[in-house]
Structure 1
Amino acid sequence: MSAPEPVVVVGAGPVGLSAALAAHALGLRPLLLEARTRTAERPGSRAVFVHRATLDRLDAVRPGLGTEIAARGLVWDTRRTLWAGRQVHLRTYPADPATAPFTSLPQTVVEDLLRRACDEAGVRTLWGDPVREAVPSSEGVRLRTASGAVHGARHVIAADGARSAVREAVGIGLDGSTSATEFVVVDVADGERPARPERVFHYRHPAAGGRHVLLVPFQGGWRVDVQCRPGDDARHLAATAREWLPAVLPQVPGPEVTWSSVYRFQLRVAARFADATGRVLLTGEAAHLLPPFGARGMNSGVGDAVAAARAVRDDAVEAYARERRTAAERNVRAAGAALDHLLAPRPGLRLLQRSAAVAAPLWPRAGRWLDAAPYGPRIRKVRY
């Protein structure tokens, strides 16, 4: 084993790439390790929202990067909500990429831009060699990969996802819950003449058997999220998407499915965001699992990444672990409120939804409340 690296980042998704860029900007000379090969397939749009706070963070660690991501994305200027086919809310607003609160594009595009930024910065990256062992001590961390290579590090930033090998190696668990309800997500390519981009949320879509449906445009296509009902065969629903999509997404003639999947909402937070030695820091999905609506997971993960690099430089790991876990808990509460608002598991909440739908044409506040379902009622001081 050679002399220990100042910091090793494990995982080259958007969070790990952001951590490596942040560490490089702080002069820490990071080494980035990724289990997949660089050319491995990355299916699906994944997280399609990049929030303004994330764009600003990326601009700070690599000037111009956030601006470029914003320019490559799509900003839709309309939010529309319907109840059983009847519109109950409509909002339009300016869609200037320079000032909009988000941009919308596939996660793979964001990753490609982050990879290029790491290459240009000279970040050392080893692809296709998964970490199998992480042994921390008061002096640093010893990492062993599948090839038998051994890397020493003063600190490790773990960004290796929901099944984090590093988190498991240091014995930190993920506490929380998984929704009983399944969701089907389908990516659809734009047609020859792209449809007007607007986010549309349907309560009880009449063309989807009364299921809730969320339509979100992104640069190059649309994401269709369908909330399954009890007893649904979610995988069959995903497999037959070409049959029901024309009625659900009429703005895209002859919709071409580019990817589909089934998922459940996860609301989980690591018991600790750093190990007992203070040498291993958890970030992104290695530290928290959140529902995909609004891309809270990726955006809060980039916040983790930048804060983790700073904590390593400033020898402030304990403060990092405390502050970012607090931020994750707030995101879990916000996401939990969104899930509750969306699923309406209690009779009282279902009655409230129906009453709001009836009142919305005469009382705009009721429509705004219904429109909040995919993201949940606003909870103050949520940090991404």
Structure 2
Amino acid sequence: MVSLTHGFDTRSRSAAPEKLRSSATVRKVWICLRVMFGCGMLTDSFANNSRIANSNPGDPLLSCARPPHTFGPTVPGRSGSWTNRTRKLSEWLMQTVSRLHAQANISILYPELPFLERAQAAADDGFRAVESWWPFDAAVPPDAQVEAFVDSIEEAGVSLRALNFFAGDMKAGERGILSVPARLNEFLDGVGVATDIGRRLGVEKFNALYGNRQEGLTARDQDETASIALHRAAVTVSSIDAAVLVEPVSGVDAYPLKTAAQARSVIDSVGLPNVELLADLYHLFVNGDDVPTALRDHISVIGHVQIADAPGRHEPGTGSIRIADLLSLLVSLGYAGGVGLEYLPAGATSAGIAYLADNTELAGILALPVRETEMDNR
């Protein structure tokens, strides 16, 4: 019997190093700037930023006894004074550290194009990173199909940040196979292929859809199989420093994970630090989860975020989900990962991207791509 833990650090999640999951990163940058420039307009600018101030109540770094006007040689009416320069620097820093970065899900965006042309279309729209569902019909596709997919990403010059494992026949309603005992080996074969792709393209996250409840199988049997499958998948992708995601999903009654708490229970049962929660704000909202509470309660295991609005699953801003507020909450909680745009375009994809970029509330918290022609006009 092969050991499930061989070659992998099985320390508790609390003992594992966390990457960019707390406001400590922001504070370290701030401390460095204070050392470089002293205490003055930077402190004033930071203290006036509600996201940082609210996430660090009582932080002595946010209040400085030295008055702002004592910093640097300020000359009235001179735009090049140190005060103005440091104000601009602090504003730039806050914008940089408090904005999340969008990545295009090419399996759902650009439906007007053949799949292998979508990474290039995303690059043309200004995206530097993309994500994808499993792009093949089988867990182990022909080599030629794998090479064509890899080439499409590399030639577009974008990074593939996230990739789904093989999840069965999605068009027929399947949502994963990892909890089906008879298909465990099929799933693990697919994990091997996905890891090879991830090694070549730098994939950081692999989404493992849990699978629907099956007639003739008990929930206990399926959950035990899922725990084994997720454990082995996490060990495999750890070889390329990647993580496995567990996602609550809406729209399929037989899919058992509908809330963040249910997914967290699965994550905890596996017990490895690189098994994380995919917080798809659309799915959580549609399923009736208390999304703000879910984000607060499970921020320590959130490894990726995806967005779409409801109803309709179209562009953010077309429905009733307060997506900008939820993203701001995530930033205040320390989330600094990617945000996948996983929505059904209401029209042409590029027009929808431009619509998002013009949404000042969303653009204030989410760094969206800008086409070069649009940048020239600005």
Q: What TM-score range do you get, normalising by the shorter chain?
A: under 0.3
Q: Which has the higher helix share?
A: 2
Bigger RCO of structures 1 and 2 (CA < 8 A, at least 6 apart): 1
TM-score by length of 2: 0.25
TM-score by length of 1: 0.25
Q: Which has the higher strand share?
A: 1
Greater C-alpha radius of gyration: 2
